[in-house]
A and B are shown apart, each in its own frame.
Chain A
Amino acid sequence: MLTMAEAVREAMSIAFDERPEVFLLGEDVGIYGGAFGVSGDMYHRYGSERVLDTPIAELGIVGAAVGAALSGMRPIVEIQFSDFTAQAMDQIANQAAKIHFMLGGALHVPMVLRTPQGSGTGAAAQHSQNLEPWFASVPGLKVVVPSNPADAKGLLLAAIDDPNPVIFLEHKLLYKIPGRDPVPEGSERIPLGVAKVVREGKDLTIVATGIMVNKSYEVCEKLAAEGISVTLIDPRTLSPLDMQPVYESVEKTGRLMVVQEGPAHAGFINEVIAQMAGSSSFGSLIAPIKRLAGMNIPIPYAPQLEKAAVPQIEDIEAAAREIVKNWR
């Protein structure tokens, strides 16, 4: 069983083999094999022409990638921590996302920016953020958040194919974990913009992103043993967002709970709530929509506080139990 880090490496390797214009650049992605070991031995397999170690200068790294993409290459950028994308935000939000539109569609930017995100590693406030809404609120960017190795492989291959800039957000805690399903052999793509119904139930619909899909899955298993059946939906791509399975599920269950790691205030998952509230499926709700999200605070350093700042399995379980019990 491949871990997420191995699945991502496999996808990059397949793309390297398929297309000579694909290359990887970033801090320590070469000889060191990546801060989280994702690129691993790729430097040795593909050489320094295609796996480029860069200086510590995020704006320059992304700027170089945007330029390469404009001139026919398909760069994969790795930014060591998603927090550091702040340094590169002009290239991401103002250049990569906009050039196609500013030039009347004459050029496009087929770049993938991969970056690890999230809390749980004791790395404190500047290395632990979940910045999904930063990217999801910029038109022109596609945003992918894989929750397991199999999805990560298929989605990354699709992201590399995509003519638009794609932000690919990998959760640090998932890198070393094998998925529930084996990673398929071969080079099959998973199309961007198609949500996945992870499991089906009749009492509650949970929409969760990234690592929260895994935590919610454990809750679903536990509740199933007690006769509470839950539909779990993983949007997989935040932009574009596929709401159709959510509507269809809520029409059956009547209850919706959304879970994300990032802060609740202005978080991405609020978009799911807003679209549900404005849809014709709204009339199917038999319960107020429940949101579980991170606290509106910088991620604390102390391990107990870091844990308390984002939803944990017990929180999801308690909330799910309560919504099903209280609203009938």
Chain B
Amino acid sequence: MPKMSMTMETGELLLFHVKVGDQVKSGDVLFEVMTDKIDMEVEAPADGVIETLVGNPGDVIEIGKPVLIMLTETEVMAFDFGGDTPAPVETAAPTPPPVAPAPVVVAPVVAPTPPPVAPVVVAPVVVAPVVQAVAPVITPAPIVAAPVVTAPKIVNTSVKAVPKARVEAANRGIDLRTVHPTGPDRTITFSDVNSAQVDPAVLKRQAANKALIAKGIEMTRGIAQASFNRRAHANFDHAQLISAWAKVLRGRPDIAVHQHVGVSLIIESKYGSALPVFRDPDLISVEELRTLVSSTSDAAKNGKVPIAMLSGGTTTIFDLTTYSMSSVTPLLFPNQVTSLTIGYDSESTKNISLTIDLNICDFYDGALLLDALIASL
């Protein structure tokens, strides 16, 4: 279930447009969803075959939970290439139909050969946030393959630890995945956590931030935020802004909580606010990004955002200039460390406001980030 609006937590599945066994093309409508704000048709992120319908019409489904399972060609290819994801044996796997008749723009960092041999390893594509960015298709615009830089590192999430080790790790801010297990069956023991080293820099930063928080910084739902404002010239468009901001963030891996940069742009439509995510937008040219932003904005205004673009945001941009407003109450989405608000300042200037999560970065980080952004615009 994709997140389609800012406040969305669940979506009601209205109806399926497909049934098990259907061959679908990228962009075909898969199902319709109703949320508190928006009704939307969700499209196939890639060509493939419908394997399972997980939900039933009328079900209220949490965001991130599967609605249906689709087998894609890439999944079949992963099997063919001996990828380490054991693909289910699919005797009826579809033979890859020729795709991409339209011009395909592939980011230079991706292997130069066009799909279908893209090195994208996608496990059975669950239509949910884990979907690797597979060509978001917006007809009739040209097909643009979103850049795939590195496949997300598969971390072992099935960490085994005794209860007290978990309590201790939580108290000390230790990620159990970093602790070497010495217990039976590779289980993390209490003493493993006790002797685990925490990066002193992290500890120092946490301690400093805790002190600041204690001094009474604005706290909202447990998040301590700070906002910074600066005036900038008005001579940039969304593509330039998104690209520049992504570059700035990529230069600060120490405050990143994700392995990619996903810039979420809030787009207003009569269906409600949509939040398409541009994944690693600084790794394609600004011209390509501009085409993508423009086609995505048009699609969003018509209530259609490719499902692959509805997840993976690590930062959010909210542009208020068309409303002649200069600022807005800062907001941070869960798991995001930063957000930008662009406001009207004058004919030739804009007001850029940065909100940061003080649990992750401090005041100087915020000042440096905003400074770097404005310098690069």
Contact = CB atoms under 8 A, between A and B. Distances in A.
Interface in B178-194: 183-184, 189-191
Contact of B165 (A282, A286, A326): A286
Given A254-B190, A286-B189, A327 B162 contact: yes
Contact of B191 (A282, A288, A328): A328
B166 interface: yes
Given A254-B190, A286-B189, A286-B190, A327 B183 contact: yes
B163 A284 contact: yes
A217 to B, nearest CB: 27
A167 B11 CA distance: 56
A282 B163 contact: yes
A283 interface: yes
B163 A283 contact: yes
B167 interface: yes
Given A282-B163, A283-B163, A283-B164, A326 B190 contact: no
Interface residues of B, number: 11
A71 B190 CA distance: 59
Interface in B67-114: none
Contacts of A326: 183-184
Contacts of B165: 286
Residue from B164, B166, B167, B183 whose CB has the most chain A CB atoms within 10 Å: B164
B190 A283 contact: no
A254 B191 CA distance: 12
A288 B165 CA distance: 12
B191 A283 contact: no
A286 B191 CA distance: 9
A284 B191 contact: no
Interface string B153-168: 0000000001111110
Given A328-B189, A328-B191, A286 B184 contact: no
A326 B189 CA distance: 9
Contacts of B191: 328
B56 to A, nearest CB: 33
Nearest to A326: B184
Contacts of A59: none
Nearest to B191: A328
A223 B163 CA distance: 26
Contacts of B190: 254, 286, 327-328
A183 to B, nearest CB: 41
A123 interface: no
Given A254-B190, A327-B189, A328-B190, A285 B162 contact: yes
Contacts of B167: 283-284
Contacts of B162: 285-288, 327
A327 B191 CA distance: 8
Contacts of B183: 326-327
B159 to A, nearest CB: 15
A207 B189 CA distance: 23
Interface in B185-227: 189-191
A285 B164 contact: yes
B29 to A, nearest CB: 46
Nearest to A277: B163
Interface in A262-287: 282-287
A285 B189 contact: no
A327 B162 CA distance: 9
Contacts of B163: 282-286
Interface in A292-318: none
A285 B167 CA distance: 10
A288 B190 CA distance: 12
B189 to A, nearest CB: 6
B186 to A, nearest CB: 13
Nearest to A328: B191
Nearest to A254: B164
Interface in B299-325: none
Contacts of B184: 326-327
A97 B162 CA distance: 40
Nearest to A284: B164
B335 to A, nearest CB: 26
A285 B165 CA distance: 8
Nearest to A283: B167
A98 to B, nearest CB: 39
A275 to B, nearest CB: 15
Interface in A109-134: none
Contacts of A287: 162
Interface in B117-174: 162-167
B185 to A, nearest CB: 10
Contacts of A327: 162, 183-184, 189-190
A124 B189 CA distance: 43
A284 B190 CA distance: 10
Nearest to B167: A283
A327 B165 CA distance: 11
A8 B190 CA distance: 46
A88 to B, nearest CB: 43
Residue from A254, A284, A285, A286 whose CB has the most chain B CB atoms within 10 Å: A286
Nearest to B194: A328
Contacts of A288: 162
A157 B156 CA distance: 58
24 contacts: A254-B190, A283-B163, A283-B164, A283-B166, A283-B167, A284-B164, A284-B167, A285-B162, A285-B163, A285-B164, A286-B162, A286-B163, A286-B164, A286-B165, A286-B189, A286-B190, A287-B162, A288-B162, A326-B183, A326-B184, A327-B183, A327-B184, A327-B190, A328-B191
Q: Which 5 pairs show the lowest CB-CB distances between chains A and B?
A: A286-B190, A328-B191, A283-B167, A285-B163, A286-B164
Given A254-B164, A283-B163, A285-B162, 18 more contacts: A254-B190, A282-B163, A283-B167, A284-B163, A285-B163, A285-B164, A286-B163, A286-B164, A286-B165, A286-B189, A286-B190, A326-B184, A327-B162, A327-B183, A327-B184, A327-B189, A328-B189, A328-B191
